[in-house]
Amino acid sequence: MATTPTKVEFKIKDYKADIHNDWCPGCGDFGILTALQMALVKLQIPSHRVAVVSGIGCSGKTPHYMQTYAFHTLHGRVMPSVTGLKLANPSLTVIGVGGDGDAYGIGAGHFVNGGRRNLDITYIVFNNDVYALTKGQGSPTIAQGTKTKSMAEESIMQALNPVALALVCGYTFVARGYALDVKTLTDLIAQGIRHRGSTLIDVLQTCPTYNDLHTKPWYEGKKPGQNGISPLYRLDQTDYDPRVQDPANRREVSQKKTQAILKSEEDERLPLGIFYQCEIPTYEDYLEKKGHIDRAHPLAEREDIFHRDVTPLLDALT
Ligand SMILES: Cc1ncc(C[n+]2csc(CCOP(=O)(O)OP(=O)(O)O)c2C)c(N)n1
Ligand code: SF4
Ligand SMILES: [Mg+2]
């Protein structure tokens, strides 16, 4: 979580790593990366107070392009890594990034239990409907009966609804963004980071190399038969209210969750923005109460951990 800054000290260059980017030209990942960096500018969080953790995939390369602490972990292991990092150093702003295959496929079990904990973290899922890095097989979010140019045949499985899944798992800030509307996505990510609790932002992301269904022209309503009408619309431009006013009121909580699930099922036009937000104690709050963590003296700053000789461990692994 971060507070709203008063003075602009950090600029976007402070969050950009000087490393060659090998995403395909026109990839939606560029929009998400820029929005993440701009959100950090907006919140003025020093880069050394941020850790970005990824899984495996095209999206998994994101931490390489960030001038922050970064950890490119294993496929489907964003949540366990984010959890360890946050508990070892609770004052860090910890951001998980990864693909739809990573979060909702191989990492689904971790995604579910991550939500139940309600750690104060932000998880941004790059949702392109495909396993892009491995040549575009259909991911858990590809619609039943559809086929991208990279798939041998139509998917016969039902698509998973990330927003509804996050809601029932217990994420306390659940949102959907669009990769190519960087300004709106920046605001959404900044709000997600500011939220005290587990945030899931599912970002609709174009993959021009493998996904010829959900392309930039399709999102802009420029394909034949769309009549110039974008399939996207913004919840904050309607009277939709995602926020729970009284988290102790179980009836209000269930009403807000139910309306969010119904919204997330809309498929003629896709809502963007915050579906649900509720502030309740975090996992760290409970652990601190039990005496298992001490925010004033985090594990990561303890002398004995910092100077520990890991040579025997590394030797055992070689
Ligand atoms: C345990 C494991 N299984 C499979 C793979 C192979 N693999 C690497 S990336 C990837 C797909 C990534 O898809 P997604 O998470 O949607 O990310 P994207 O590339 O679309 O950004 C797979 C299956 C792996 N690295 N590790
Ligand atoms: S394969 Fe798709 S997701 Fe991967 S870098 Fe290329 S356009 Fe982006
Ligand atoms: Mg993917």
Ligand 1 in reach of 63 Cβ (< 6 A): no
Q: Which residues of the chain have pLDDT under 50?
A: none
Q: Cα(62) to centroid of ligand 2, in Å?
A: 12
Give the residue, by CA position, lying nearest to ligand 1 atom 7: 134
What was the pLDDT predicted at 310?
Answer: 87
pLDDT recorded at residue 1: 53
For residue 308, the model assigns a pLDDT of 82
283 CB within 6 A, ligand 2:
no
In this prediction, residue 4 carries a pLDDT of: 58
Residue-wise over 146-183: b if at least 16 C-beta within 10 A, else e? eebebbeeebeeebbbbbbbbbebbbbbbbbbbbbbbe
Q: Is the CB of 32 under 6 A from ligand 2?
A: no
Expressed in angstroms and rounded, the spacing between residue 254 Cα and the centre of ligand 3 is 31
- The pLDDT value given to residue 303: 78
Q: Where would I find the H helices in 2-159?
A: 29-43, 78-88, 100-101, 108-117
Cβ atoms 139, 129 nearer than 8 A = yes
We find that the CATH architecture of domain 12-293 is: 3-Layer(aba) Sandwich (3.40)
Domain boundary assignment for the chain: 12-293
Kindly give the distance from the C-alpha atom of residue 218 to the centroid of ligand 1, in angstroms, as a whole number. 25
User: How far is the C-alpha of 64 from the C-alpha of 16, rounded, in Å?
Assistant: 9
Q: Which ligand is nearest to the CA of 73?
A: 1
Give 217-252 as a 3 state SS string.
HHHCCCCCCCCCCCCEEEHHHCCCCCECCCCCCHHH
Residue of minimum CA distance from atom 8 in ligand 2: 27
What residue type is assigned to position 174 of the chain?
V
Regarding the beta carbon of 203 and ligand 2, being less than 6 Å apart is answered no
Within the chain, strands assigned E span: 50-54, 69-72, 93-99, 122-127, 130-131, 137-138, 173-178, 199-204, 232-234, 270-277
